[in-house]
Amino acid sequence: MSASKTIKKLVGLLGAILTLSPAAAMADFELNLHQGVTKISHEIYDIHMLVLWIVTIVGILVFGVMIYSIINHRKSKGVKPATFHESTVVEVIWTIIPFVILVAIAVPATKTLLEMDDMSHPDVNIKVVGWQWKWEYDYLDNGVRFFSNLAESSVKASQLHSGADVTKVDHYLLDVDHPLVVPVGKKVRLLITGNDVIHSWWVPQLGVKHDAIPGYINESWFRADKEGVYRGQCAELCGKGHGFMPIVVKVVSENDYNTWVEEQKKAAAAAAQDVNKVYTKEELMKHGEAIYNKDCAACHQPNGMGLPGVFPALAGSKTVDGPIEGHLHTVIFGRPGTAMQAFGKQLSAYDIAAVVTFERNSFGNHMGDMAQPSDVITVEKSSK
């Protein structure tokens, strides 16, 4: 059987397999990059396509010559190999052609890299901090600051024995409680760093991917040309919750952005005034349960039983059943050398007081006491 007939039969067999496979027949294959909604992302896409076409043409030419040579210059046909050893013309050709190809790639790539490094004249400056396992956004121009956590719907569905059908959860593991909000058509400068380990802030459609390294600040920027919601993820293996810290960027009109900023400022001012407010136990328990499900359940589990050998149970815990000041101190400052984070900078005084009250009166713990925001402030001051 000739080589050409063998190849035709193999191609026919592959086609039959693909036709008979329901998964292959119905799958919505996406084999290319997103073009994105920023000028930089478009340029990245264009460079990608340029390189793809170059390597495709080179591959076709090289393998075409190889296959042709194998078929038509094989020993069985009586072909004898050439005896020449060197050819100056051939050497010049295979030096010049790769040089021209590399220049064709290097020129647009260098231009795009220089544009990516141009941080001048930003309209919005945002500090981005990666935490295990969430993102902190600090708007340096107007004082707005918040944490962006995995959406509660994904948190609940991801728990052990949750029984949830993740295919029915909207944007499973790709949604957050507080997205990053930016105005359309404005240059947004990002100052990216990490609080604990190396993370990576990656949103493909914005053309941004930079590592968040503790003690070091990386700079990046984007200017979205279209309103919408754009999703990304941490792209650096950063520990147990690596797959649970998505990124959501909401691009809105300038008017909507200004309105959002004012709303955030009012909410922050209201939270600051609540420090001296005295809450009922019912209010603290209700709010504490919401905070626990958002920030604590991923490690200690919704039932408070933790993960044996990894995260301690809160049910019957010496910390939870001990003095309330010690419990507050653990939540505020964490426990160095363990996976217990310091939540003093992540949660408000009201949040901490509520979650401590909830933990001390749930999961079989019946301490009967409660903490107020003023108690949190007292513990913070006494530890300085």
Whether residue 1 is contained in a domain is answered as no
pLDDT computed for residue 16 by the predictor? 45
Query: Which of 77, 95, 116 is the endpoint of a domain?
Result: 116
Q: Are residues 94 and 180 in the same domain?
A: no
Average pLDDT, the chain: 87
Q: Are residues 142 and 244 in the same domain?
A: yes
177 contacts 149 by C-beta, under 8 angstroms: yes
Query: Which of 222, 257, 273 is the endpoint of a domain?
Result: 273
Q: How far is residue 276 from each of residues 144, 273, 282, 284, measured CA to CA in Å? A: 22, 7, 18, 14
Whether residue 256 is contained in a domain is answered as yes
pLDDT computed for residue 340 by the predictor? 86
Dist CA 150 CA 178 (whole Å)? 9
pLDDT computed for residue 25 by the predictor? 40
Q: What are the φ/ψ torsions at residue 30 (nearest 5 degrees)? A: -125, 100
Dist CA 296 CA 306 (whole Å)? 10
Q: Are residues 268 and 364 in the same domain?
A: no
Range of the domain at 82: 30-116
Q: Is the pLDDT of residue 302 over 50?
A: yes
Share above pLDDT 90 across residues of the chain, in percent, rounded to a whole number: 54
- CATH number of the domain at 334, please: 1.10.760.10
pTM of model > 0.75? yes
DSSP β-ladder status, 208-212 and 199-203:
antiparallel
For 106, other C-beta atoms within 10 Å of its C-beta total 10
Q: Are residues 268 and 281 in the same domain?
A: no
Whether residue 2 is contained in a domain is answered as no
Q: Are residues 132 and 240 in the same domain?
A: yes
Burial class of residue 383, CB neighbours in 10 A (0-12, 13-18, 19+) = exposed
Read off the pLDDT of residues 218-263 as tens digits, 9 standing for 90 and up: 999 999 999 999 999 999 999 888 999 999 999 999 999 999 999 9
Q: Are residues 151 and 267 in the same domain?
A: yes
Read off the pLDDT of residues 131-156 as tens digits, 9 standing for 90 and up: 988 999 999 999 899 999 998 888 88
Buried residues in 308-317 as b, exposed as e (16+ CB within 10 A):
eeebbbbbeb
Whether residue 4 is contained in a domain is answered as no
Q: How far is residue 17 from each of residues 4, 23, 26, measured CA to CA in Å? A: 20, 11, 13
- CATH number of the domain at 131, please: 2.60.40.420
Domain count, the chain: 3
- Nearest Cα to Cα of residue 192 among 214, 164, 224: 214
Dist CA 284 CA 290 (whole Å)? 10
Whether residue 151 is contained in a domain is answered as yes
pLDDT computed for residue 26 by the predictor? 41
pLDDT computed for residue 20 by the predictor? 41
Q: Are residues 129 and 261 in the same domain?
A: yes
